[in-house]
Amino acid sequence: MNADVEQVREAWEDYRLRLARKILAELCHEQVLAPTVTVDHGDGIRGYAVRSDDGKTEYTFDAEILALDSWCLDEASLRRSVDGAGFPIDPVALVVDFASTLGLRVDDGDRIDPGDDLSSYLEELINTLALGAARPASSRVPAAELVNGAADPVTAFQAIEAAMTEGHPCFIANAGRIGFSVDDLARYAPEFGSRMRLTWLAVWADDVAFSSMADLDYDSLIEGELGADQRARFDRILVEQGLDPADYRYLPAHPWQWANQAARLYASEIASRRIVELGESDDEYQPQQSIRTLFNRTDPTRNYTKVSLSITNMGFTRGMSADYMSTTPLINDWVRSRIGDDEYLREIGFEVLYEVAAIGYRNPSFNTATEPGSEYRKLLAALWRESPVRLMRDGEELATMASLLHVDHAGAPLVGALIERSGLAPREWLRRYLDAYLHPITYLLFAHELKFSPHGENLILAMKDGVPQRVILKDIGEEVFILGESEDLPPECARARSTESDEARNLGILSDVFDDFFRPLAALLHGHGLIADDDFWWEVAASVNALQAQHPELADRFARWNLFAPAFGAIHLNQLQLRNRRRMADHEIPYSSMVAAGHELANPIAGRFATATRDELPATTAGAR
């Protein structure tokens, strides 16, 4: 067989197996599936079996159930049989086998109606699979090569961004990219690492909403992003058409968005020259894991640019509206006023990438015909976020925190390569990471009553020689939840306020950090023999205790929003996505609206780990590396 053909075949088999393992692990975690034990292998590892909706198909596998009902499932043990005959593992067939259980197919006894939900979900699942399996061989970079980096730290930062294929650690169908063609994926999907240019437009000023943080204005922003020469060229294009640049505002658009959406729907405005296409940006950009956020490769000190992109991903169309974006810089101003002078955050090197400006187009016809939230109001908008390159210190390297869950094409975890490069014992590496990440995120919740969405893609790790030093937080305006009284919060920022009760406050750590990120990270470390699951959670408990000892002034809040509570409500993210793929939560009470009825997770740092310190190891693991 041709070597290239064989490599493609192996890649598809590997990623089919990976995605099937994730589907089974997450559905077992969310109690959608309830496998029965078939054999006890000892040391906590058992054989399990689960049958399809019609009872004809059986899946068997070996797994170890870790803390937080985390199923550490052995990929190599996965088997599928139909009426007793063996069949290859296929994640698409797996979802079809359990479509009724997942609520994607309705069986009323007289007929089976799959409807559109199953087909649309399968489309996202197949695309998710293909993004991992069908990439060119040049995109498959060994983990050790990624962490050893390039001579240029910016190149190394973006190489990691392009290498990952896992997507969100909990959502199964997380990279649908519905709307992109095969050619579009190669141009614009982050997994291909391609560079692109923005399409710049001049839009009639009366139809545009521009807003910025207090220390920035429109002219300064545009001058900084375009440079004097490019801005002068755009001005000349308007003047040559008899138009006055002062009557317009310059707005960047994703080239796919312009060609496939805006240029078609706004044809009348283009004809009347209320919208004028100015051409491509001089600068080249690289799509990030969040796909509509673009990193400037020509001048990395310039802002990230986030743009409307009307493709569907995880059930949501990724547009951006002028209505929503117009208040984002104001929210960032308020957050900066609250935490910008915090001495503790400054001491530990924690920083925020603020969203400094936003611009959005309000089409007179569509705005009259639609209500706020309509996709037709989300076709042309942009947001500028500070670049982390400006914040880099001597010797630092950057990587999205999501990369800690990356496993390369050969099965090697990137986190293992980082630990190897650091020269530290795995548990010491973990301690450094927890100090850099868990401490500031926990402190922000307890000291400032601010809850962010601190999953992997929203944090950037600043490291030296593979060791995390500090973290940089991003995605503020869309993800922040303001939990306190905050009487100084401007009325325009009310969308960021949350009235979540005291009882649910600790979920900002227990659910968002422990369950959504630490659970898959702990399983990865455990499964690859780097850090045992008990040892991982001992270190987390010791880290929380160390932080609380550092901040006795917060003792009352630590007691009220107890991180050592025996249990907490589980949030079933995949079921939320399947039940309502357009709005999974109520922003005002995010946790109360998402917690699954009747399912609690035992808190892995409660009980025997509650008094953990770094001065001692638990008796069961004393002397472990």
Burial environment of residue 356 by CB neighbours within 10 A (0 to 12, 13 to 18, 19 or more): buried
Q: What is the pLDDT of residues 455-502, one digit of tens each?
A: 888 999 999 999 999 999 999 998 899 998 888 899 999 999 988 788
Residues 400 and 385 in one domain: no
pLDDT at 108: 56
Structure tokens at 567: 């249990």
Q: Name the nearest CA neighbour of 1 among 88, 136, 9.
A: 9
Q: Is residue 616 part of a domain?
A: no
Across the chain, mean pLDDT equals 92
Q: Tell me the mean pLDDT in the region 284-301.
A: 96
Q: Which of 115-119, 184-188, 619-623 has the highest mean pLDDT?
A: 184-188
Q: Is residue 319 part of a domain?
A: yes
Q: Is residue 157 part of a domain?
A: no
Residues 385 and 400 in one domain: no
What's the rounded Cα separation, in Å, for the pair 501 and 616?
36
Number of domains in the chain: 3
Structure tokens at 170: 């909990």
Q: Is residue 360 part of a domain?
A: yes
Q: 203 - beta bridge partners? A: 249, 275
Exposed e or buried b per residue across 261-286, where buried means at least 16 C-beta atoms within 10 angstroms of its C-beta:
bbbeebeebeeeebbbebeebebbbb
Q: 70 - beta bridge partners? A: 66
Q: Is residue 346 part of a domain?
A: yes
Q: Which of 389, 406, 432 is the last residue of a domain?
A: 389
User: Residue 167: pLDDT above 90?
Assistant: no
Q: Residue 553 sits in a domain of what CATH number?
A: 1.10.510.40
Q: Residue 74 sits in a domain of what CATH number?
A: 3.30.310.280
Q: How confident is the model at residue 280 (pLDDT cuts 50, 70, 90)?
A: very high
Residues 219 and 277 in one domain: yes
Q: Which of 134, 149, 173 is the last residue of a domain?
A: 134
Residue % of the chain over a pLDDT of 70? 94
Residues 358 and 293 in one domain: yes
Report CA 576 to chain centroid distance, whole Å: 16
Q: Is residue 218 part of a domain?
A: yes
pTM of the model: 0.94
Residue type, 40: D
Residues 11 and 123 in one domain: yes
Contact 473, 353 (CB under 8 A): yes
User: Residue 77: pLDDT above 90?
Assistant: yes
Give me the domain span that covers residue 207: 195-389
Residues 240 and 297 in one domain: yes
Residues 251 and 357 in one domain: yes
